[in-house]
Chains A and B, each alone.
Chain A
């Protein structure tokens, strides 16, 4: 008889019916309605939402592209052009998808920059950071696989260069490469499996993003001051206060990406990829997509093939341990007068690495890439732990509420570092 007296949490009887059987309504209310966000969060905190929206856009546009695409070496190039010419709004789908990939990386780079500058990777959000690096890794794999699909010259030669890296691994290298390609060279078997993997990996990313979001909701979002939430006065509800800021971010982003999609859809593409793949003609110089270029620069900066491969993967792997390399307990670089500048230099250095990664590896460019490589690893292995010990951080504000009201910097009572957690 107890079934007749279901609790009435909501006015809408349908919601009550569902809630009683699966408390998903209260879950969403808690996680996306009342979820407390620090009120001092700036627009850098919108990039997580932007990335999620972009991921969904990529998956949806990708599904419709896949309906019209043929993963065969003889037909792939023409099928992509058929999408551009004969499929209704196929050009729109494809330009959204190809430029969406570039913008996805711009967003995620800014998201990572934000996490590093404001120390979001530190206690208690280390696992969140690890999941994020994992997403980044999956994104790079997915975009590389996707770039192969149009089967243009860069698709073919990019795939050849990258898969060749595996042959640098001693003993198992050659076998591993053949196993990955499904053939001795990049060919139809490769294209087929790359398509299959390119289709499935975004759903894996989606799953990890779910964990990433769930993890950040456990201890709440970081904020520009990098201090913990102390009272309800420090926060606003996600709905509508942060949602409305995210909506503004989406509109600004919409203007920027539309400008590229509609008025310069091939600005971020390599012209060579509009030439059908030809195993007999090697392009003058093979360049990766711009978002992989910093890692490509690291690869080529090392004179030894195996060493280059190890450092390239090491450049990503080292991100996983950043929370333990950083010895400072202060999160935000706003209160770290020394580390702040090394951090800025790290961002500039990463950008320079990307720039030389797109140019031929010779002369001055190679020298720049080598200096960039040394700073990249030096920043993580030497600078980050060392600065944490010798730097004297600025006084932290008492509360987020003080920061928001502009009184944060003149907080009269100093807070000892232990209290930050």
Chain B
């Protein structure tokens, strides 16, 4: 009796965590290569996604927690990473003369922030602060699905909905108003590998990149998880058999 109740409560409870409140209708789920227990990142998609971030998002959005060296994980060579980093200038110093100076970024530097500080970011964006994207898929409910739907969710405002000055209508934004204009359109970015550059593809790639940025350990984690669970299953089975043998003689 008590056992059944406990199991029931745990079951209901675990569903509740997953389903914790939504108020904009069901969030459409997308098929991601990193979903599931053996999910991995597609290296080509990650590199394309990085290109989208660099050419579209990075104009306004920082990724403070990432280093250029991290890009080696998504398949760039050390030389390529050096070249990518060198395209950005970073404020360093003071030097021996006490002066601050600009120098090209190195792989050991963090991603260069598009603005000097938060105030400049606000001033340049109509008062709205473009959030840092380092862990954005972990920082929003429904994670990568939400970001993807948001990027694809720009529509004409329906009849009778007043959109504020400098705001845009987006189906998935809280309150349906977002300060960011539709960032990704068909052909916004040119791909070198001949992949189609429709908005859907670009959004998919950049969201894959953002997911990796937020959870770079994902592949190692899932791989280790399978082994750890197998360990407990095998040990549990052996101990269970031993327990039956041991308790057989208890009367």
Contact = CB atoms under 8 A, between A and B. Distances in A.
Question: Main SS of the interface on chain A?
Answer: helix
B139 A244 contact: no
B24 to A, nearest CB: 13
A314 B175 CA distance: 39
B250 A262 contact: no
Contacts of A261: 225
12 contacts: A81-B65, A85-B216, A85-B217, A241-B246, A247-B239, A248-B239, A254-B236, A255-B229, A258-B228, A259-B225, A271-B141, A347-B5
B251 A271 contact: no
A117 B21 contact: no
Contact of B221 (A91, A110, A351, A355): A91
Contacts, number: 110
B139 A275 contact: yes
Nearest to B231: A254
Interface in A325-357: 333, 340, 344, 347-348, 351, 355
A266 B214 CA distance: 12
Interface of A: 39, 42, 44, 78, 81, 84-85, 91-92, 95, 106, 110, 113-114, 117, 236, 240-241, 244-245, 247-248, 251-252, 254-255, 258-259, 261-263, 265-268, 271-272, 274-275, 284, 290, 333, 340, 344, 347-348, 351, 355, 358-359, 404-405
Nearest to A276: B132
A311 to B, nearest CB: 24
Given A81-B135, A248-B236, A255-B233, A39 B250 contact: yes
Contacts of B247: 241
Interface residues of B, number: 49
A262 B246 contact: no
Nearest to B243: A244
A355 B16 contact: yes
> 3 closest pairs, A vs B, by CB?
A262-B225, A251-B236, A274-B139
Question: Main SS of the interface on chain B?
Answer: helix
Nearest to B223: A262
B134 interface: yes
B17 A251 contact: no
Contacts of A351: 9, 12-13
Contacts of A405: 251
Interface in B126-166: 131, 134-135, 138-141, 143
A320 B235 CA distance: 39
A404 B224 CA distance: 41
B17 to A, nearest CB: 6
Contacts of A247: 239
B217 A91 contact: yes
Contact of A262 (B139, B221, B239): B221
Given A271-B140, A274-B135, 7 more contacts: A85-B217, A241-B247, A248-B239, A255-B229, A258-B232, A262-B228, A347-B5
Contacts of B228: 254, 258, 262
B6 interface: yes
